[in-house]
Chains A and B, each alone.
Chain A
Amino acid sequence: MRMNHLSGLAGAVALTAIVAAAGPSWAQQQAPMLDALVESGELPPVEERLPANPLVVEPVESIGTYGGTWRSALRGGLDNAWIARTVAYDGLVRYNREWDEIIPNLAESWEVSEDSRTYTFKLREGLKWNNGTPFTSADIAFAVELMSEPSYGAGTFIKNPNNPVTVEVIDETTFSFVFENPNGLIMDDLASVNGFTVVSLNKEYCSQFYPKYNPDAEANAQAAGFQTWELHMQDRCSWATETIRWANPDLPMMNPWMIEEPLTGDATRTTFVRNPYYWKVDTEGNQLPYIDRLSMRVSDSLEEITLMALNGEIDFQDRHIATVANQPLFFDGQEAGDYRLGANVPSTSNTLVLQFNMNHVDEKRRELFQNKDFRIGVSHLLDRQEIIDVVFTGQGEPFQVAPRPESPFYDEEFAKQYTEFDPDAAAAAFEAAGLVKSGDVYTFADGTPLQITIDLIASFRSEWVDMMELMQLQLEAGGLDIELNNIDRTLYYDKRPLGDYDAQIWQGDGGLDVVQEPRYYFPANGESVWAFRWQAWYNGANPEIAEEPAEWARNQMDLYTQLRAEGDPEVRSDLMKQILEISKENFPVIGVSLPGNGYYIAKNNMRNIAEPMLHAYLFPTPGPYDPFQWYFAAE
C-alpha cells in the first residue's frame, strides 16, 4: 500500500503535528456543567474521556466560553435534516470549511490502494461513545454488516449493487473497506452528510436486536410490538440521520451533543446536551463543544418559526425561514430581535431549470425537444433580467445551468451562453429548428399546433409559480403556446417513466457539488428528467423503458464511469471538465438565473460562525462550519 496523495492527508498531518507539539503542555479543560459529575465520580476526568489524540479545531474567530442553549426550530417532527446538519455531521472524515478538501475526523488518517479498491482507515486511539464504551473498528464492521442485510432497509454506498463492499478489521483502530470494483467517489461519500451512516451504530447496543447476534431478537421484536426484527432494529438503531434515531436516547452516539429530550412522535421539543466524551478540543485544549445544550422547538407552523426568529427566540437558523420573501422582514427586525443576518452562498446553479423531455414518447415532440436550436430559441425568448427584477428584487444574474462562479469548474461561456433576451435570434433559431409561424404562434412544420405543457409543483418553491407565470407570458409573446400544469408531486414522479410530459422544472442542483450531482450535465440519475430514458439505460434501472442515448451523452457516461473508478482527484477533475465541455456544446437544459445569496439568522452574541457559508445538502451547512466551536459571548 502506498500513501495516496489525497488532499485530505496534508491537513491531517498538519493537525497531528500541532497536537504532537502542544499535547503534553495542555491542562485540558471541560465545561463547568460537568465538574460536579466528575467530582461525584459519575464521570471520569476529562483526560480519560478524551482520546489520546483529540481532534484540534481552530476556532473561526476566537477561543470560546462554555455554556448556553442554542435555540432553533424543526418544522414538524420529521425535520430530521436539521438535526443531521447541526448535531450529526461527524463521519470518518469531513470537508474543510472551504469545501475543497477532505480532512480527518474520527479517522486520523487513511490510505488508498493503487487500484482504488481498498481504503484503509486509522481511527483515533481511545475514542469513546457517549456512554463511555470504546469506539472501535468492530462498530464500523457491524454497521456495514447490518446494512448489507438484504431485508434491511438502509442504503448509501454500502448497498450499491454495482460495487459491493466488505469491511476488513485489522485491529481495534484499523480497518479497510474493500470494494469489488475501483471506487473513486467513496471519500466524498464519507465526507458528505451520508458519511455518518457507517459510524452511527454501536455494536454492543445494537447487536441485541440482530438475530445474528441474539437468537431471541426476533421474539423480542414481536414482544415489543414490532412485526419483524428489522422494524425493531430500525426503531432502536436507525441508520444515519433517520428521524426515529433521535427518539431513542439509549442509542450511543459520537456527536458533540447527545439526546436529552428525545424527538418522539408527539414531542413538541427535542433537546440535546453536551456529550462528555466528545473527542474534539480547541487550540487551547478546551474540550468541545462550547454550547451546553441545543433546544429545538418542533413546530408545524412556518409562521410561528418566523415569528420566533423575529422575536429573538432563535439563536441560529436558516432552514425553512430564510426565504427571499422573508428577507425584508428579517432585515428590519434585526435590532428588535437582537440578531444579525449572515450570507449563505447557495450550491445551486440556478433558480429554475427548464427541462424539455428529450425522450418524449411522441415522435414529433421528441425530435423537437432534442433539437438544440429549439432550446436556444426558447432561451433567447426569456427576459431574464425582468424575472430577476420582479421575483428576486434584482438579486442574481442571468445564468445557465452550469457550475457556479465559486466552483473550480466555472466556465463563463457555459454559464452565459444564450442568456441574452433576443427575440430575433429566437425566431431564427425556431426556424432552424423547423418550426413555422402561423399567425402569432409557432406550429410544427406540418402545421399541427404546438402547445407545450410545463409541469411544476407550486408547493415546493413559491417563486416557481411567479417565475413560470412570467415566463409563460414571455414565451407566448414570442409565439410559443405554453400551458402551465401545477401538479401534485406524486404525479410529478409517476410521470417520469411514462415519458409523456413535455417539460418539467426544478432548481439547479450541482452548482458547487458538480461531480457529486451531475444530473443536468449528462443523464446521470433519475433526477435527469430531460433524458429519463437515457439515464435508465445508463443506470440499469427500469430496463423496460431504457433507450440508448445519443452519442454525445454516451461519451459523457463513459467519462463518468471512468471518473467513478478513479482514485486520483486531479484525474477526476479532468474527466469532469470533459463531461462539462460536452454539456456546454449540447446545451441540454435551460436555466434562468444564478440564485442570489441566501442568508442565515444568528443572535448577535453568538460567535465563531463563519460568514459567508456555502450552503448545500451533501455539505450539510452549518455542520462543516463546526457548530461545536460556536459559543455565546458574555454581553
Chain B
Amino acid sequence: MAVETISPAEAAAPRKIRRESQLALMWRRFRQHQLAVVSLWLVITFYLIAALAEFLAPTDPSAYSARFTYAPPQGLHLFLQNEDGGWSFQPHVNGYKSEVDPQAMRRTFVVDPEVVIPVRFFAPSEPYQLAGFIPMSVKLMGVEGPRDPFYILGADRLGRDLLSRLIHGTRISLSIGLAGVTLSLLFGIIIGGFAGFYGGWFDSAVMRIVEFIRSMPTIPLWLGLAAALPKDWTALQTYFAITIILSLIGWTELARVVRGRFLSLRTEDFVTAAQLDGASDWRIITRHMVPSFTSHIIAAATLAIPGMILAETALSFLGLGLQAPIVSWGTLLQEAQNIRTLATAPWLLAPGICVVVIILALNFFGDGLRDAADPHGR
C-alpha cells in the first residue's frame, strides 16, 4: 500500500513530539554555547542576590561608623588555626589596628590577624521584611558584637559596609534594567508589531521615527529629559522616571526586531492559512505569530538589559540619574569615581566588577539564546 490512512491520534502525536523536540533542540543548541550556560547561572545568581538582598547583606547599607572610614577588606576566613597548629572550621574575620593621621587627614588600618571575630551564619538580627513582605529576623552572616567591624569587602568613606551596599545596589540596578526592558518590550512589541503586521504608511512612519531616534546621540536626550524631571520628586519617583526615560530610547531596537520578525512571518504559509480560515488579526497575532518568535524576543530583550544597566551608571556619573542616598551600582561607582579611591581604596571599585560580570553574562546568555532560537537568523 502506497498511502496509509493516518488515525487522528497519530496525527496529533507528531505535532506534540515536534514541539517538544523544538524546545529540546533549542536547549541542545543553547548548551553547545558553554559560555552561555555559565552566563545563565551567573544571571540567575545575581537576580537571586537582588531578591534576597536583605537576607544576604550583613548590615544595613546606610549604617555608618566613624571608626572604620575607608577600612580595607577583611576577607572571610573559614578555618582557624588552633594553638596546637591544627585547623578547625571557624568562620571568622580579623579585626583592625587603626590610627588617625591628623596631618594626612585619614585613618590608617592594618588587618590584625591576632584579633579573631567569629562570624555566625544565619545570625539573628533586627527583624526586617524580606522583599518587603516576608518578616524575618535572621541574616545569612553576622558577627556577635555590635561594635565589631565586619567588612568582608571593606568600608566606604563613611565606614559603611561595601558588601551590604553592593548587595542592595544589585537590587536597584538589576531591577531598573529589567523594568526598563519590560517597558521597552511593551512599546516595542506594540509599535513594532503593528508596523510589521500592517505595513504600509504606518510601517514607514514608525521606521522613520525609529531611525530618527537611533540617529540622535543619546546623551543629550537623556540629559534633556533627566533635567526636565520635576525636581521635587522622591527617590522612588525618580527611579521610575529614569526607567521610563531609558525605555523611551530602548524601545526602538526591540521594535525593529519585532517588526522584522512580523514582516517575515506575515508571508509565511501558516499565517496565510490562518488568514484564509478567517481568523481575526488579533487572533493571528497572538495565537500564531507571537508564539513563533517568542524566543527571539526573549533573546533581544536579554541583550537590551545590559544597555540599560550601563545607561544607569552613565546617568549617575553625569549626576543625572539616581542619586545618593539611593544605593545602586551607578551611585556606588559615582562615589568611587575619583583618584583618591583608585589610589587608596580600590576595593570601592567592586561595583564596577559587578557591572562587568553581569553585562558579560547577560550578553553571552542573550547571544546563546539567540543562536539557539534561530541558528540562521540574525
The judgment on whether A and B are partners is yes
Interchain CB contact under 8 A, B325 and A327: no
One of A66-74, A217-225, A285-293, A458-466 contacting the partner: A458-466
User: Using a CB-CB cutoff of 8 Å, which residues 284-334 of chain A contact chain B?
Assistant: 302-303, 306-307, 310, 324-329, 331-332
Contact of B158 among A303, A470, A483, A487 (CB under 8 A): A470
Interchain CB contact under 8 A, A391 and B158: yes
Given A393-B105, A394-B100, A488-B231, the answer on whether A325 and B338 have CB atoms closer than 8 Å is yes
User: Using a CB-CB cutoff of 8 Å, which residues 450-486 of chain A contact chain B?
Assistant: 458-459, 465-466, 469-470, 473, 483-486
> Separation in Å of the A376 CB from the closest CB of chain B?
25
Query: At the interface, yes or no: B104 with Cβ under 8 Å from chain A?
Result: yes
- How many Å lie between the Cα of A222 and that of B102 in the bound state? 60
- How many Å lie between the Cα of A490 and that of B228 in the bound state? 11
Q: Which residues of B contact A394 (CB under 8 A)?
A: 100, 102
Contact with A along B204-239 (1 / 0, CB 8 A): 000000000000000000000001000110100000
Please name the residue on chain A nearest to B342 by beta carbon: A303
Query: At the interface, yes or no: B73 with Cβ under 8 Å from chain A?
Result: no
> Separation in Å of the A233 CB from the closest CB of chain B?
32
Contact with A along B336-360 (1 / 0, CB 8 A): 0011100110000000000000000
Interchain CB contact under 8 A, A326 and B325: no
Q: Which residues of A contact B340 (CB under 8 A)?
A: 306, 325-326, 328-329
> Separation in Å of the A488 CB from the closest CB of chain B?
5
Contact of A469 among B64, B100, B107, B227 (CB under 8 A): B64
Please name the residue on chain A nearest to B67 by beta carbon: A389
Interchain CB contact under 8 A, B66 and A395: no
Contact of B64 among A470, A483, A484 (CB under 8 A): A470
Given A303-B338, A307-B339, A329-B343, the answer on whether A393 and B69 have CB atoms closer than 8 Å is yes
Query: At the interface, yes or no: A21 with Cβ under 8 Å from chain B?
Result: no
Query: At the interface, yes or no: A491 with Cβ under 8 Å from chain B?
Result: yes
Please name the residue on chain B nearest to A324 by beta carbon: B105
Query: At the interface, yes or no: B90 with Cβ under 8 Å from chain A?
Result: no
Contact of A459 among B65, B319, B343 (CB under 8 A): B319
- How many Å lie between the Cα of A488 and that of B228 in the bound state? 10
Interchain CB contact under 8 A, B325 and A393: no
Please name the residue on chain B nearest to A310 by beta carbon: B339
Contact of A327 among B62, B66, B105, B324 (CB under 8 A): B105
Contact of A393 among B62, B65, B107, B227 (CB under 8 A): B107
Contact of A303 among B66, B104, B339 (CB under 8 A): B339
Contact of B339 among A306, A331, A469, A484 (CB under 8 A): A306
Query: At the interface, yes or no: B175 with Cβ under 8 Å from chain A?
Result: no
Query: At the interface, yes or no: A545 with Cβ under 8 Å from chain B?
Result: no
Q: Which residues of B contact A596 (CB under 8 A)?
A: 105
- How many Å lie between the Cα of A327 and that of B343 in the bound state? 12
- How many Å lie between the Cα of A386 and that of B65 in the bound state? 9
Interface of chain A: mostly helix, strand, loop or mixed: helix
> Separation in Å of the A117 CB from the closest CB of chain B?
46
Q: Which residues of B contact A52 (CB under 8 A)?
A: none
Interface of chain B: mostly helix, strand, loop or mixed: loop
Contact with A along B69-88 (1 / 0, CB 8 A): 10000000000000000000
Query: At the interface, yes or no: A390 with Cβ under 8 Å from chain B?
Result: yes
Q: Which residues of B contact A332 (CB under 8 A)?
A: 104
Given A466-B157, A469-B62, the answer on whether A328 and B339 have CB atoms closer than 8 Å is no
- Most interface-central of A327, A329, A458, A491 (chain B CB within 10 A): A329
Given A458-B323, A469-B64, A469-B325, the answer on whether A485 and B232 have CB atoms closer than 8 Å is yes
Interface size class of A (residues with CB under 8 A): 35 or more
> Separation in Å of the A325 CB from the closest CB of chain B?
5
Number of interface residues of B (CB under 8 A): 29
Query: At the interface, yes or no: B103 with Cβ under 8 Å from chain A?
Result: yes
- How many Å lie between the Cα of A484 and that of B340 in the bound state? 27
User: Using a CB-CB cutoff of 8 Å, which residues 539-598 of chain A contact chain B?
Assistant: 596
Contact with A along B296-339 (1 / 0, CB 8 A): 00000000000000000000000100011100000000000011
Interchain CB contact under 8 A, A327 and B106: yes
Count of CB-CB pairs between chains A and B under 8 Å:
82
Interchain CB contact under 8 A, B231 and A389: no
Please name the residue on chain B nearest to A455 by beta carbon: B232
Query: At the interface, yes or no: B159 with Cβ under 8 Å from chain A?
Result: yes
- How many Å lie between the Cα of A466 and that of B64 in the bound state? 10
Interchain CB contact under 8 A, B102 and A386: no
Interchain CB contact under 8 A, A465 and B324: yes
> Separation in Å of the A493 CB from the closest CB of chain B?
11
Q: Which residues of B contact A310 (CB under 8 A)?
A: 339
Q: Which residues of A contact B103 (CB under 8 A)?
A: 331
Q: Which residues of A contact B319 (CB under 8 A)?
A: 458-459
Interchain CB contact under 8 A, B324 and A486: yes
> Separation in Å of the B239 CB from the closest CB of chain A?
13
> Separation in Å of the B95 CB from the closest CB of chain A?
19
- Most interface-central of B62, B102, B324 (chain A CB within 10 A): B324
Contact with B along A387-406 (1 / 0, CB 8 A): 00111111100000000000
Interchain CB contact under 8 A, A390 and B104: no
- Most interface-central of A303, A390, A458, A485 (chain B CB within 10 A): A390
Interchain CB contact under 8 A, B104 and A328: yes
- How many Å lie between the Cα of A328 and that of B102 in the bound state? 10
Q: Which residues of A contact B64 (CB under 8 A)?
A: 390, 469-470, 473
Interchain CB contact under 8 A, B339 and A473: no
Interchain CB contact under 8 A, B343 and A390: no
Q: Which residues of A contact B343 (CB under 8 A)?
A: 329
- How many Å lie between the Cα of A305 and that of B159 in the bound state? 27
Interchain CB contact under 8 A, A329 and B339: yes
Interchain CB contact under 8 A, B227 and A488: yes
Contact with B along A214-257 (1 / 0, CB 8 A): 00000000000000000000000000000000000000000000
Interchain CB contact under 8 A, A329 and B344: yes
- How many Å lie between the Cα of A310 and that of B325 in the bound state? 31
Given A390-B158, A465-B325, A469-B325, the answer on whether A326 and B339 have CB atoms closer than 8 Å is yes
> Separation in Å of the B71 CB from the closest CB of chain A?
12
Q: Which residues of B contact A328 (CB under 8 A)?
A: 101, 104-106, 340, 344
Please name the residue on chain A nearest to B156 by beta carbon: A466
> Separation in Å of the B183 CB from the closest CB of chain A?
24
Q: Which residues of A contact B323 (CB under 8 A)?
A: 458, 486
> Separation in Å of the A301 CB from the closest CB of chain B?
10
- How many Å lie between the Cα of A390 and that of B100 in the bound state? 12
- How many Å lie between the Cα of A483 and that of B340 in the bound state? 30
- How many Å lie between the Cα of A324 and that of B319 in the bound state? 20
Please name the residue on chain B nearest to A389 by beta carbon: B66
Q: Which residues of B contact A325 (CB under 8 A)?
A: 157, 338, 340
Given A458-B324, A491-B232, the answer on whether A331 and B105 have CB atoms closer than 8 Å is yes
Given A332-B104, A473-B62, the answer on whether A487 and B325 have CB atoms closer than 8 Å is no
Interchain CB contact under 8 A, B232 and A390: no
Q: Which residues of A contact B338 (CB under 8 A)?
A: 302-303, 306, 325-326
> Separation in Å of the A85 CB from the closest CB of chain B?
24
- How many Å lie between the Cα of A244 and that of B137 in the bound state? 63
14 CB-based A-B contacts, threshold 8 Å: A303-B339, A324-B105, A326-B338, A327-B105, A327-B106, A329-B344, A332-B104, A391-B158, A395-B105, A459-B319, A466-B157, A483-B234, A485-B232, A488-B227
Which 8 A-B pairs have CB atoms at the shortest separation, nearest pair first? A491-B231, A331-B104, A389-B66, A390-B66, A328-B106, A327-B105, A328-B104, A487-B231
8 new A-B contacts, CB < 8 A, other than A325-B157, A329-B339, A469-B62, are: A310-B339, A325-B338, A328-B340, A458-B323, A465-B325, A484-B325, A487-B232, A491-B232
Interface residues of B (CB under 8 A from A): 62, 64-66, 69, 100-107, 157-159, 227, 231-232, 234, 319, 323-325, 338-340, 343-344
